[in-house]
Amino acid sequence: MVNMQKVAVIGCGFVGATSAFSLIQTGLFSEMVLIDANAKKAEGEAMDLSHGSAYLTPMNIYAGTYDDIVDAGIIVITAGANQKPDETRLDLVKKNVQIFKSIIPEIKKRNCEGILLIVSNPVDILTEVALKLSGFPSNRVIGSGTVLDTARLKYVLGKHLQVDPRDIHAYIIGEHGDSELVVWSGAQVAGIHINHFCELRGHFNHEEAMERLAQEVRDSAYEIIERKGATYYGVAVAVKRIATAIVKDEHAVLPVSSLMQGEFGLNDLCLSIPTVIGQDGVEKVVDIYLNNDENDKLQSSARALKEVLDDLDL
């Protein structure tokens, strides 16, 4: 039986440890198991996290094995090689696919019934890999997708327009990577189309601003990696947001990566589209409006991912 108050985190590197830290502060979980190829690392992280328990909702945090994840409601997978400076997320494919080939079969043979939340990069490819290797129904395999990219977009737009980013409604879709795209046609603030709102704030050069802001979001991970070696705080908050939507059965709309089954003419690949998320995982991929240019860019993003998938031995 699935325990939605239990979460497992597989991979205790920067992203895994930071995601665990983010998750223990939600009050959603009463149990967390950490797993890593380096068992001592998992033990150390569990000890460190546990020492804050006096100031948090009661929670059992421990290092364990795959046998401990059988009843976990959410299994977060962050294991994988780190992205290096000047390395794209797609460059990580072969290394991290091999790592997943050692992880996912361990989950499959224990007949876990929880939701797989894939965070490792390249997340769209690895979500597809996890789906195929696990045999899970597609609604139970979710990638963090462009949830972080969308948060970055709202942040830079908030700075540009001097408004609270929480009042900005805009999405980045497609690949979590270089071929991602902003859905400018549907972007708005307080129900006002983004271009009109920009003009209300004294900005009129829309094309230049859209290109510059999209590029800033697209390159932000590279900029962070160049400065500090890795990104992990932002994605940890994204993991927290997705987990909250699942456990609380929010039916929230988030741009997670999931299996396309005819949406926008796409099939048999995972990429990010705004999706209704609840306790059963993916409920509905939302068929949002795209103008012709956005649709062309989405198809191009899908082709880039498909080319990589076709080269994999799954």
Quote the mean pLDDT of the chain. Answer: 95
Listed in sequence order, the DSSP H helices in 71-189 are 93-108, 123-134, 147-161
Pull the structure tokens for residue 5. Answer: 């108050």
Residue found by looking up tokens 């948060």 in the block: 151
Which tens digits make up the pLDDT trace of 275-298?
A: 999 999 999 999 999 999 999 999
pLDDT at 90: 67
b/e burial code for range 246-262 (CB count within 10 A of at least 16 → b): bbeeeebbbbbbbbbee
What does DSSP assign to residue 58? Answer: -
The alpha carbon of 167 is separated from its chain's Cα centroid by a whole number of angstroms, namely 21
How much is the pLDDT for 89? Answer: 62
Percent of the chain at pLDDT above 90?
Answer: 92
If we measure between CA atoms, which residue out of 285, 312, 292, 244 comes closest to residue 139?
A: 285
| Contacts of residue 183, Cβ cutoff 8 Å, sequence gap at least 6 | 170, 171, 172, 173, 288, 290, 294
Domains identified in the chain and CATH numbers = 3-143 (3.40.50.720), 147-310 (3.90.110.10)
Share of the chain above pLDDT 70, in %: 98
* pLDDT (0 to 100) of residue 120: 95
Catalytic amino acids?
176
Mean pLDDT confidence for 108-134: 96
- CA 240 vs. chain centroid, Å, equals 10
Query: Could you give the CA distance from residue 53 to residue 68 in angstroms, rounded to a whole number?
Result: 21
Rg (alpha carbons) of the chain, rounded to whole number: 19
pLDDT tens readout for residues 59-115: 999 999 999 999 999 999 999 987 777 766 667 788 899 999 999 999 999 999 999
Tell me, what amino acid is at 192?
Answer: I
First to last CA, the chain: 30
Interval 9-38 mean pLDDT: 97
Q: What is the DSSP string of 268-299?
A: EEEEE--EEEETTEEEEE------HHHHHHHH
* Neighbouring residues of 210: CB distance < 8 A, sequence distance ≥ 6: 182, 184
**Chain centre to alpha carbon of residue 16:** 13
Among 152, 186, 181, 156, residue whose Cα is nearest residue 169 = 186
Distance of CA 126 to the CA centre of its chain: 11
Residues 6+ apart with CB under 8 A from 73: 2, 3, 4, 5, 6, 7, 114, 115, 246, 247
